[in-house]
C-alpha cells in the first residue's frame, strides 16, 4: 500500500496536538511525519507513537517531500506560508479562515459534501468549528425537509481560541476564587465566571466575523444560497465543547415524529432527548464523543414550520482536527492527491 508523507503545521497548538491523537486513531498509511510550528518551538521534542520528533520551523524546501500538509496556524500565517507549501508540491488542508470562501477552494465536511474534495487545486479548507457541528446536526433535515432560515446562538468554549485561552481561563478562575487580581490578555474582558458576546472582530453591519462565518460557510457547504442564517456568537467559560441553540424555519410544516426519525437514523449524530429524565447534551459530554450531540427538540409555539434544538460538539476534534484528518483519509482512500 502506498504510504504518504504528512506534515502537521501548528503541531504544538491545541488543534495540532489533537491532530496527532486523531492520526494515531485513524492509522493512516504514513511514511514520514513532519511536525512544524513557529520559530519559538524549533527544536522542541514531541513524543509520538514511540518515536521522538523534533519540531521544525517553516523554511524554504520544507514541503518538497510532503504529500499532505495539515495547517492549523491561524489565517495570517496560513496566507503567509500556504502559497509556498503549494508551490513546493504539498496538498493543503487548512483549518483557518484564510481560503474558506475562495471559489477555487472546496470547503469540506466529509459527511456532507465529500464529492467536492476532488475539485481541489492544491488547497482544501476546513470550516469553522461552530459551522461544522451545526451543519452535521441539521444535514438530514436539510436533505429531507429543506431549511428556509436558521437562527443560531452559540456558547463557545475557550479552547476554540487556542492553548493561551485555555490557560487564561484556568488562571483567571484560580485568581478570582482566591480574591486576587484577575488579568486579561486573550479576551477583552474577564472570561472566568462571565460570558463575552463577541467573537472575532466586528463588521460595519454589527455582526462579528464568527457570526458571518456561520452564514457564509453554511450556504457554501450545503451549496444552497437561499438558506438564510443569522447568528449570535458568545464565548463562555467552558474549556472544551461548543453548544448551540438553534431555531430552524423549515420550508413546510412538519411532523415531530419524522424529525425524530431523521435525526435518530443519522449515523453522524447522537440524539439525546429525554428532558423528563434530564437527558440532553452538555459540553462535558462532548469531550469523549466524536458524534454531534442533539437534544431539546420542540416545535415552535407559534409556527408549524419552526423547530428548536440544542446542539453540542467537540470543537477541537470534529470542529477541527478530526474533520481535517477525515478529509486526508478520503483523499488517500480515493487516490485523489492530484484532484479527480
Which DSSP symbol is given to 279? B
On whether the CB atoms of residues 125 and 105 are closer than 8 A, the answer is yes
74 near ligand NAP, rule: CB under 6 A: yes
**Part of the chain binding ligand NAP (CB under 6 A), chosen from 142-150, 223-231, 250-258, 311-319:** 311-319
On whether the CB atoms of residues 243 and 310 are closer than 8 A, the answer is yes
**Part of the chain binding ligand NAP (CB under 6 A), chosen from 107-115, 162-170, 260-268, 302-310:** 162-170
Q: Is 189 marked active-site?
A: no
241 near ligand NAP, rule: CB under 6 A: no
In angstroms, the CA 305 to CA 44 distance is 55
243 near ligand NAP, rule: CB under 6 A: no
Active-site annotation holder among 242, 247, 302, 305: 242
4-9 and 68-71 strand pairing: parallel
Beta bridge partners of 228: 149
38: cell is 513557529
**Part of the chain binding ligand NAP (CB under 6 A), chosen from 4-12, 171-179, 248-256, 331-339:** 4-12
Query: At closest approach, how far in Å is the CB of 98 from ligand NAP?
Result: 8
Residue sitting closest to ligand NAP (CB)? 13
- H or E stretch at 237: none
Q: Is 305 marked active-site?
A: no
Contacts of 203 (CB under 8 A, 6+ apart): 209, 212
286 near ligand NAP, rule: CB under 6 A: no
x/- site string to ligand NAP, residues 23 to 62, per CB under 6 A? --------------xx-xx----------------x----
Handedness of CA 130, 133, 137, 143 (dihedral sign): positive
On whether the CB atoms of residues 108 and 124 are closer than 8 A, the answer is yes
Judged by CB under 6 A, which of 106, 160, 241, 306 binds ligand NAP? 160
Active-site annotation holder among 120, 129, 189, 305: 129
Judged by CB under 6 A, which of 6, 7, 14, 292 binds ligand NAP? 14
Would you put residue 172 in left (φ > 0), alpha (ψ -120 to 50) or beta?
alpha
Contacts of 74 (CB under 8 A, 6+ apart): 96
For ligand NAP, the closer of residues 257 and 288 by Cβ is 288
- Residues forming contacts to ligand NAP in the complex (CB under 6 A) are 10-16, 37-38, 40-41, 58, 72-74, 77, 95-96, 129, 159-160, 162-164, 315-316, 319-320
Catalytic sites, residue numbers: 129, 242
Amino acid at each position: 500500500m502506498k504510504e504518504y508523507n504528512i506534515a502537521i503545521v501548528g503541531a504544538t497548538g491545541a488543534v495540532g496536538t489533537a491532530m496527532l491523537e486523531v492520526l494515531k486513531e485513524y492509522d493512516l498509511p504514513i511514511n514520514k511525519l513532519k511536525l512544524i510550528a513557529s520559530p519559538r518551538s524549533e527544536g522542541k521534542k514531541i513524543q509520538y507513537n514511540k518515536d521522538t520528533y523534533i519540531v521544525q520551523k517553516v523554511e524554504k524546501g520544507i514541503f518538497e517531500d510532503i504529500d499532505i500538509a495539515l495547517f492549523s496556524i491561524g489565517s495570517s500565517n496560513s496566507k503567509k506560508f500556504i502559497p509556498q507549501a503549494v508551490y513546493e508540491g504539498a496538498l493543503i488542508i487548512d483549518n483557518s479562515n484564510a481560503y474558506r470562501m475562495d471559489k477555487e477552494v472546496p470547503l469540506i465536511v466529509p459527511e456532507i459534501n465529500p464529492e467536492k474534495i476532488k475539485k481541489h487545486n492544491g488547497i482544501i479548507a476546513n470550516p469553522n468549528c461552530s459551522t461544522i457541528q451545526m451543519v452535521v446536526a441539521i444535514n438530514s433535515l436539510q436533505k429531507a425537509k429543506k431549511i428556509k432560515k436558521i437562527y443560531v446562538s452559540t456558547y463557545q468554549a475557550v479552547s476554540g481560541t487556542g492553548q493561551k485561552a485555555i490557560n487564561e481561563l484556568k488562571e483567571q478562575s484560580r485568581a478570582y476564587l482566591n480574591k486576587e487580581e484577575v488579568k486579561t490578555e486573550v479576551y477583552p474582558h474577564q472570561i472566568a465566571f462571565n460570558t463575552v458576546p463577541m467573537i472575532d472582530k466586528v463588521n460595519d453591519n454589527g455582526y462579528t466575523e464568527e457570526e458571518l462565518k456561520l452564514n457564509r460557510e453554511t450556504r457554501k457547504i450545503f451549496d444552497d444560497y437561499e438558506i438564510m442564517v443569522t447568528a449570535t456568537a458568545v464565548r463562555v467559560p467552558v474549556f472544551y465543547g461548543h453548544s448551540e441553540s438553534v431555531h430552524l424555519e423549515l420550508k413546510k410544516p412538519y411532523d415531530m415524529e419524522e424529525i425524530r426519525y431523521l435525526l435518530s437514523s443519522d449515523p453522524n449524530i447522537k440524539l439525546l432527548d429525554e428532558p423528563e429524565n434530564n437527558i440532553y447534551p452538555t459540553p462535558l459530554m462532548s469531550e469523549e464523543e466524536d458524534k454531534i450531540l442533539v437534544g431539546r427538540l420542540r416545535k415552535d409555539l407559534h409556527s408549524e414550520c419552526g423547530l428548536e434544538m440544542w446542539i453540542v460538539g467537540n470543537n477541537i476534534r470534529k470542529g477541527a482536527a478530526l474533520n481535517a484528518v477525515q478529509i486526508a483519509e478520503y483523499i488517500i482512500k480515493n487516490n485523489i492527491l492530484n484532484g479527480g
